[in-house]
Structure 1
Amino acid sequence: MKSIRHAVAVAVPALVAVAAAGAAAAAVFATARRVVTPTARSNDTEILAVDTGAQTIELTRTADTELPGRYGLFTTGTYGYVKLGAVLSADQRKVRRKLLTQIDVGAKVDRGAAFSGWYYSTPAELHLPYETVLIGSPAGPCPAWFFPAAPDAATSDSAASETWVIQVHGRGTTRAECLRAVPVFHSLGMPTLVVSYRNDGEAPRSRGGSYALGASEWRDVDAAIGHALRHGAKRVVLMGWSMGGAIVLQASVNSAHREAIAGLVLDSPVVDWRTVLRFQAREAGLVEPLPALAMEALSTPWSARLGGAEQAIPFDSLDMVARADELAVPILILHSDDDGFVPSDASHALAAARPDLVTMPEFAVARHTKLWNYDQISWTTAITDWISTIIGP
């Protein structure tokens, strides 16, 4: 009996230790999978009331929904997407905003909603000529929208019309995110190509269907550069939003068409993934060493697939502050110090490392990828002034 009790006394702590280790490993890989797995849009606010007479809407108050400016709201029911205007009133619990989309009496509008900086949801809303094209990339045919330069611009300013802008959207979004920037480039006489990339829900799915955080998606952007050069472009400006910033930074140092890249515009960009993922982990209440272990799992070949990645994520290669010396073209960074999702620390670090290349005007208050919405005039002026240094006034 004594030997049995001794065996149990030894075995139970060992089993507890094994169970704890298993739970920790499961938490690490679950965290890793959240990083690389494309996810559906999640609701981040609630619709509390809709006044169809005054055409106003009440939302739960968050750091995003209280922002001044024009925004969008993904909803379910009669409307899938509505546009929002100015904040009319607010208290500690809710905000009341002007509706810019007419909501009819009797319409069904569910409570769950997602606040968005997109504003424009389809290219037709811009009232500019455009066409849908397919770009042949290593992932397969990737759909894109092409907005040509205005005919008078094409004849009066060849430098502008021969410089195409290629826009790349961020993580968990689609091409529509980029539509806000099309009018400013169109006004400058520049054609714009708004592209998709593997696993974004519009372009082809890779075998594993996961994000590589820019480490493979840049190849689809490189294919878009080749498409532009075959169709009249002499040079390109790459614009990336959020993770799209990480993608175009990778394209700028890896592309077979590097000599044709005239500059980069980065809106709320991911410049270094480690900085971003540590910040997001803290915001989610995850404590070290869990975030560090998740990144280690994703960067190690044998464990990357257990973490949901198709191949190891090269975090060192994706750290463009560390690789700042490899950058060779002018860069405009538009990043709010109150981003709240992708901190601006790495953007400031890149600006400090390459002051000869990086222009970074000050922005605050605006949240992630919402600078256009919050301060369209300053955002537009920053791009217009910077472009004049690339192609001339």
Structure 2
Amino acid sequence: MSTGPAGHTARSSDRPHSETARRTRLRRFLRTVDGVTIDAVYEPGNVVYDGGTPPSTASRDAAPAAGRPAIVVAHGFTGDLERPHVRRAASAFAQYGAVVTFSFRGHGASGGRSTVGDREVLDLAAAVAWARELGHTRVVTVGFSMGGSVVLRHAALYGPEHEGRTQARTDAVVSVSAPARWYYRGTAPMRRLHWLVTRPVGRAVGRVGLRTRIHHRDWDPVPLSPVESVPRIAPTPLLIVHGDRDGYFPVDHPRMLAAAAQDHAELWLEPGMGHAEHAADDALLSRIGAWAAAHAS
């Protein structure tokens, strides 16, 4: 798939400005540094105000930065921010902070075409930067499957040591059901996915049947792999979550990621869990949200 240098994202001036905005969605199209429009939604989470009267305008405007983190959700391949499984995850995370959901390029109402984990790091960077521009000083990225690989690469490529990219940095990372290495074809679902991505007829099926527009170009150069990214994330807190019945990526993938992180990551191998958002039950999503809130410092 095509690639290019990662950079900081263009800024948006949008801010929630009323009690109504606090309680409802704020939807914007963000623009990545390579010019792709990304459909994104901000939800303030389950904020409870004390007393019978709304807080003053000043206190409302300060609320996002006052302790609650923003959790940015990176969906899997063929998902988008309106899919039921993404909405379910967002609802669970809203118990622990504000939530930003977005659709990767080539998915949903976003522009461009999917590069299946390469330039998607720029989409995530735009969403993280938007969360900070809305006033959140603590941001956690949570990614599933393809999104799980993207949050790992994003954390490795954005940070205080990367001049000009700190607005899009993350304070903690959760990677769920992610591959450790590229080009894996060891399971039937992954062989079908490679057919979908690499064949013209497969891309047509993706566009018409799965509402996913896939780029026709091969990666050149090949992006940093998830397992190569993990050692570069420390000291940012990292949680790796994987099901022991994942039909796409067997458990050697999360174990490889955890080994690459050495002592700088937690690994949760979930008994009976399958793959990504669809397989993550409400209890697991709640545990992930609690971990995110506790580690976003």
Match of 2:39 in 1: 143
Q: 1:384 to 1:282 in 2, by over 3 A?
A: closer
Q: Given that residues 234 and 260 in structure 1 are in contact (C-alpha distance below 8 angstroms), is that contact kept between their aligned partners in structure 2?
A: no
SS at 2:94's partner residue? helix
Q: Given that residues 26 and 42 in structure 2 are in contact (C-alpha distance below 8 angstroms), is that contact kept between their aligned partners in structure 1?
A: yes
One-letter amino acid of the structure 1 residue matched with residue 92 of structure 2: V
Structure 2: give runs of 5+ residues left out of the alignment.
Answer: 2-22, 50-59, 159-164, 199-214
Match of 1:195 in 2: 102
Equivalent-residue separation in structure 2 for 1:259 and 1:282 (angstroms): 33
Q: 1:258 to 1:330 in 2, by over 3 A?
A: farther
Aligned-pair CA distance for 1:269: 1.6
Q: Does 1:331 align with 2:251?
A: no
TM-score normalised by the chain length of structure 1: 0.53
Equivalent-residue separation in structure 2 for 1:353 and 1:264 (angstroms): 15
Q: Does 1:222 align with 2:109?
A: no
Match of 1:129 in 2: 24
Q: Does 1:269 align with 2:165?
A: no
Q: 1:259 to 1:336 in 2, by over 3 A?
A: same
Equivalent-residue separation in structure 2 for 1:282 and 1:147 (angstroms): 33
Equivalent-residue separation in structure 2 for 1:381 and 1:229 (angstroms): 23
Q: 1:270 to 1:187 in 2, by over 3 A?
A: same
Aligned-pair CA distance for 1:258: 7.1
Structure 1 residue corresponding to 2:115, chosen from 205, 209, 212: 212
Q: Given that residues 125 and 168 in structure 2 are in contact (C-alpha distance below 8 angstroms), is that contact kept between their aligned partners in structure 1?
A: no
Structure 1: give runs of 5+ residues left out of the alignment.
Answer: 1-31, 33-127, 295-306
Q: 1:229 to 1:280 in 2, by over 3 A?
A: same
One-letter amino acid of the structure 2 residue matched with residue 212 of structure 1: T
Equivalent-residue separation in structure 1 for 2:129 and 2:252 (angstroms): 33
SS at 1:343's partner residue? coil
SS at 2:175's partner residue? strand
Structure 1 segment 91-130 matched on structure 2, within 5 A: 129-130=24-25
Q: 1:132 to 1:283 in 2, by over 3 A?
A: closer
Q: 1:338 to 1:193 in 2, by over 3 A?
A: same
Q: Does 1:371 align with 2:279?
A: yes
Aligned-pair CA distance for 1:283: 6.9
Aligned-pair CA distance for 1:203: 0.9
Structure 1 residue corresponding to 2:73, chosen from 139, 144, 167: 167
Aligned-pair CA distance for 1:157: 9.1
Aligned length: 235
Q: Given that residues 214 and 247 in structure 1 are in contact (C-alpha distance below 8 angstroms), is that contact kept between their aligned partners in structure 2?
A: yes
Structure 1 segment 201-350 matched on structure 2, within 5 A: 201-205=108-112, 209=113, 211-255=114-158, 256-257=165-166, 260-274=169-183, 277-280=184-187, 284=191, 308-309=216-217, 311-312=219-220, 314=222, 317-318=224-225, 320-328=226-234, 329-350=236-257
Q: Given that residues 213 and 246 in structure 1 are in contact (C-alpha distance below 8 angstroms), is that contact kept between their aligned partners in structure 2?
A: no
Q: Given that residues 238 and 265 in structure 1 are in contact (C-alpha distance below 8 angstroms), is that contact kept between their aligned partners in structure 2?
A: yes
Q: Does 1:184 align with 2:79?
A: no
Q: Deviations over 1:40-78 (max 9, x none)?
A: xxxxxxxxxxxxxxxxxxxxxxxxxxxxxxxxxxxxxxx
Q: 1:158 to 1:173 in 2, by over 3 A?
A: closer
One-letter amino acid of the structure 2 residue matched with residue 144 of structure 1: A
Structure possessing the higher relative contact order (Cα contacts under 8 Å, 6 or more residues apart) = 2
Q: 1:150 to 1:363 in 2, by over 3 A?
A: closer
Aligned-pair CA distance for 1:212: 2.5
Q: 1:260 to 1:355 in 2, by over 3 A?
A: same
Q: Given that residues 160 and 391 in structure 1 are in contact (C-alpha distance below 8 angstroms), is that contact kept between their aligned partners in structure 2?
A: no
Q: Deviations over 1:322-349 (max 9, x none)?
A: 3432112111222101110133322111
Equivalent-residue separation in structure 1 for 2:189 and 2:94 (angstroms): 40
Q: 1:134 to 1:282 in 2, by over 3 A?
A: closer
Q: 1:130 to 1:323 in 2, by over 3 A?
A: closer
Aligned-pair CA distance for 1:159: 5.4
Aligned-pair CA distance for 1:263: 0.7
RMSD: 3.1
One-letter amino acid of the structure 1 residue matched with residue 28 of structure 2: V
Q: Given that residues 265 and 333 in structure 1 are in contact (C-alpha distance below 8 angstroms), is that contact kept between their aligned partners in structure 2?
A: yes
Q: Deviations over 1:89-135 (max 9, x none)?
A: xxxxxxxxxxxxxxxxxxxxxxxxxxxxxxxxxxxxxxx73232221
Structure 1 segment 342-361 matched on structure 2, within 5 A: 342-361=249-268
